[in-house]
Homo-oligomer: A and B are copies of this chain.
Amino acid sequence: MSARTAARPETDIPRLLQDFEGGKRAGLARVISRVENEEPGFRDLLKALQPRLGRAHRIGLTGPPGAGKSTLSSALVKHFRAGGEKVAVVAVDPSSPYTGGALLGDRIRMNELALDPGVFIRSMATRGSLGGLALATKEVTDVLDAFGFDRILIETVGVGQSELDIACAADSTVVLVVPESGDAIQTMKAGLMEASDLFVVNKADRPGAERMARELSMMLHLRLGQALRNVPAHHGVDPKRAGSRAKPAEPLKEEGWQIPVLQTVAHEGGGVTELAEALDRHRAWLGASGEYEKRRAARLRERVREEVDRRLRQRTWKEAQGEARLRDAAPALESGEVSPYDVAEEIVAAVMKADWSEPG
Contacts and interface: CB of A to CB of B under 8 A. Distances in A.
Contact of A349 (B345, B348, B359): B359
A163 interface: yes
Contact of A94 (B103, B189, B307): B189
A340 B130 contact: no
Interface string A285-301: 00000000100110011
B336 A190 contact: no
Contacts of A123: 244
Interface in A324-360: 326, 329-330, 333-334, 336, 339-345, 347-349, 351-353, 356-357, 359
A313 B101 CA distance: 36
A312 interface: yes
Given A242-B127, A336-B50, A94 B326 contact: no
A236 B163 contact: no
Contact of A357 (B307, B323, B353): B353
Contacts of A187: 65
Contacts of A83: none
A128 B238 contact: yes
Interface string A25-64: 0000000000001000001001100110000000000001
Contacts of A229: 94-95, 101
Given A228-B101, A296-B334, A301-B330, A126 B244 contact: yes
B95 A241 contact: no
A351 B312 contact: yes
Which of A229, A317, A359 has the most C-beta atoms of chain B within 10 angstroms of its own C-beta? A359
A162 B240 CA distance: 22
A333 B301 contact: yes
A243 B15 CA distance: 27
A233 B308 contact: no
Interface string A171-203: 000000000101101110111000000000000
A98 to B, nearest CB: 8
Contacts of A317: 236-237
A311 B161 contact: no
Contacts of A323: 237
Interface in A131-148: 131-133
A180 B180 CA distance: 6
A159 interface: yes
B65 A159 contact: yes
Contact of A235 (B46, B132, B158, B240): B132
A236 B341 contact: no
Contacts of A163: 160-161
A344 B160 contact: no
Contacts of A118: none
Interface of A: 37, 43, 46-47, 50-51, 64-66, 94-95, 99-101, 103, 123, 125-133, 157-164, 180, 182-183, 185-187, 189-191, 228-230, 232-246, 293, 296-297, 300-301, 303-305, 307-309, 311-313, 315-317, 322-323, 326, 329-330, 333-334, 336, 339-345, 347-349, 351-353, 356-357, 359
Given A127-B242, A352-B356, 16 more contacts: A50-B339, A64-B159, A94-B191, A95-B186, A100-B230, A126-B242, A127-B235, A127-B241, A129-B236, A158-B190, A237-B323, A297-B333, A297-B334, A303-B340, A305-B326, A308-B347
